[in-house]
Amino acid sequence: MTILREEVAKGIWRFGPFERPCLPRKNGAGDPSGPCVPSIVVGEKGTAIVDPGETSYSLAFLLGMEQLGIDFKSIQYICLTHIHLFHCQAASTLIDKLPNAKVVVHPRGAPHLIDPTRLNENTIEIEGPTGCELMKPIPEGRIIAAEDGQLLDLGGRELEMVYFPGHAPHGMAIFDRLTRAIFPGDYDTAGGIVFNPGQPGSIPPLLNSIRRVQTLNPSMVIRFARPGVMSPDIFQGLEAHALAVERVCLEGLKQKLSMAEINNRVAQVNRLVPFGDALESPELYADQLTRRTTSPAFLASLIKKYPDLGLELPSDVDKDSEYWGDHYNRPMPGQEKKGGEKSSARKPAKKE
């Protein structure tokens, strides 16, 4: 059996797409099934995996690398764009088969790989007991909690770790300095950010991340959940969409519209200002763009952002619901420091 693979840039190979079972999420937050396309970046001295996905297809992924002639001992790093299990769960099983590999992750994610109890529990709460394979503990000595700007030397090319909060506070983009390809993980959460009830505080860091990534002048965008590559122009579309949704929601609050009326306006924005994948293929995402709405949590964040306007939540919002609390700024274990999250200002590059 030959595993499908494609070289999308010099030394950057993508495998699959592999399909997940169609497993509906517990809270109706969407369907996590779909294509999974893990990648590797091959240098003269070593190889890095980017977002290995889940164990269910990891043997096929390993077979694909073997067919390409990759020596498993040469794999130095398993880089994670964030710790949502859809992207990273296989790291906890691949680590046993790749003797020299270390898992590279944002510092906020590292404690949850060492002890994944809370990570697994939160995943089950969101996706249900069959929504995703669960993480096994990874030894602390096999984990690199990457600094912002840290460089991984593969020989003849370097990967730069770029903090990319937005979709998740533990987000980290991987930037290949040789080809200028960037792996941002999930970013279209002006879809998942504006619309995810648990992440109303994530719009400002998302916009900062998008603007910062554009200063790197990437040549292409490589997404785990989409084969091939995407144009870096998508980042401009994401920013335009996030700002448009915020503007519409703010105007709705000023006019004291109902939640349903605000959501109708958001749906119109989604059709007029597509984002992420829909920016390239709006016809394929027309139904999704119409159905995606904002959340009471995001409206609450706007009320907090503009205290002098005297805004209130719409009367049809269930203010006692626990589903729309702001969990985005909740500290991770070991991160409970006064003064909030450390600055993501770019630091001098450090080599690993």
3-class DSSP state of 86: helix
Cβ atoms of 33 and 21 closer than 8 Å: yes
What's the rounded mean pLDDT across residues 40-52? 97
Tens of pLDDT, residues 54-78 = 998 999 999 999 999 999 999 999 9
Tens of pLDDT, residues 268-277 = 887 776 665 5
Residue 344's contacts (CB-CB under 8 Å, 6 or more residues apart) are: 148, 163, 165, 205, 208, 209, 212
pLDDT of 325 > 60? The answer is no
Peptide bond into 307 cis (omega under 30): no
Look up residue 164 and give its two tokens.
């990319």
Question: Which amino acid is located at 279 in the chain?
Answer: L
Whole-prediction pTM: 0.78
Domain spanning 5-186, CATH architecture: 4-Layer Sandwich (3.60)
- List the domain boundaries for the chain: 5-186, 197-215+233-333
pLDDT at 331: 39
Q: Which of 171, 214, 162, 217 is nearest to 192 (CA)?
A: 171
Helix axes 296-305, 234-254, angle to 10 degrees: 80
Neighbours of 260 (CB within 10 A): 10
Angular region, 277: left φ>0, alpha ψ -120 to 50, beta rest: alpha
